Amino acid sequence: MTRILAIETSCDETAAAVVEDGTRILSSVVSSQVDLHARYGGVVPELAGRAHLELLTPVVAQALIEAGVDGRRPGIDAVAVTAGPGLIGALLVGVSAAKAYSLAWRVPFVAVNHLEGHLAAAFIEEPHLEPPLLVLLVSGGHTMLVAMAGPGRYELLGQTIDDAAGEAFDKVARLLGLGYPGGPAIDAIAMEGDPKSVTLPRPLWGEGYDFSFSGLKTAVMTVLRKQPDLHPADVAASFQEAVVDVLVDKARRAALDIGAKGLCLAGGVAANSLLRERALDVCIESGLSAFIPSRGMCTDNAAMIGAAAFWRLDQSGPSPLDTGADPNLRLF
Ligand code: KG4
Ligand code: ZN
């Protein structure tokens, strides 16, 4: 049995979890900094770093207590942390703390790629997922179609050529005066809107596996300038429909092209109600298994980092203690 303390501080969630053998979550604590950044309309990197510094020790303590492990002799076999990609100041707080715990407890240190954490998330709730899988990874910084042959074995099929899907949600929410974080705000207001009320483009429709969302955001801006009286709920619903149409169509085609057994959602945007509903519909129509993690497992958390660390330890062993935080860390 391998019990891992995992830490995640790549953006605006301070999170710690204790995960056993990559799938059993003994504790998972997520402290969101939403209130801190909301008044600025987005994440302020400097504030995020300072807040992680204040919050991390209590968050780790809570994760250890909830997992029923003793802080002095914690019964932890390894300490894992997100080493990138993310905000450098934010990452550094988690990486430094994880190294300190690893040294103090004399247990291995494991540096994890945040994207690998998102890819591992579905396996926590469905440990018997059968590959090959097509994963649609949609977060604030990334939009990718990944063919997954098994833990740690991936191929990138396509990605965004400009804005990430989550970034587009956040920017359009700002245009609509819905504040930060934009994704959940659009999700909520879109329920009262008519998705057919505004005609918006479906960028790169039917063209390969890459995505483009910056033109869609500009299209929303133009529509709002020309028709300022439009109801925000209608604009939000039309925008969400356009994004989800493109995401689901490309994911479906990619899944069928690679002969995937299932389609898996990952990343913060996978918490979106319409995307979850449409992904399920498409799986039923196409004879694919649907793996849609719970919302809390889609957005940033440390349990997914603990799951990915279990694979990493198994495949590559511990990371050297001189591994640094890397804001541009790549998985592909
Ligand atoms: O994975 P995540 O928590 O952090 C990153 O790794 O980026 O994703 C955050 C992104 C944000 O852009 C946020 O607006 C979006 O996920 N998001 C959503 C929803 N919940 C979070 N987008 C659409 N609908 C949601 N319900
Ligand atoms: Zn993330």
The number of beta carbons lying within 10 Å of the beta carbon of residue 103 is: 12
Q: Of the bound ligands, which one is closest to the alpha carbon of residue 271?
A: 1
Which CATH number belongs to the domain containing residue 277 in this structure? 3.30.420.40
Q: Is the same domain home to 190 and 104? A: no
Q: Which residues of 64-96 are buried (b: 16+ CB within 10 A; e: fewer)?
A: bebbebeeeebebbbbbbbbbbbbbbbbbbbbe
CA of 114 to the centre of ligand 2 (A): 6
pLDDT tens digits, the chain, 332 residues: what are they?
999 999 999 999 999 999 999 999 999 999 999 999 988 988 999 999 999 999 999 999 999 999 998 766 679 999 999 999 999 999 999 999 999 999 999 999 999 999 999 999 989 999 888 999 999 999 999 999 999 998 889 999 999 999 999 999 999 999 999 988 899 999 999 999 999 999 999 999 999 999 999 999 999 999 999 999 999 999 999 999 999 999 999 999 999 999 999 999 999 999 999 999 999 999 999 999 999 999 999 999 999 999 999 999 999 999 999 999 999 999 99
Atom of ligand 1 nearest to the CA of 298: 1
| Any domain includes 123 | no
Structural domain that includes position 142: 130-296
Number of structural domains the chain divides into? 2
Q: Is the same domain home to 85 and 170? A: no
Ligand 1 pocket (Cβ < 6 Å) reads 11, 139-141, 166, 169-170, 181-184, 187, 267-269, 271-272, 299-300
Q: Is the same domain home to 25 and 58? A: yes
| Any domain includes 329 | no
260: tokens are: 């995937």
Task: Name residue 290's beta-bridge partners.
Answer: 263
Q: Is the same domain home to 49 and 139? A: no
Q: Is the same domain home to 196 and 77? A: no
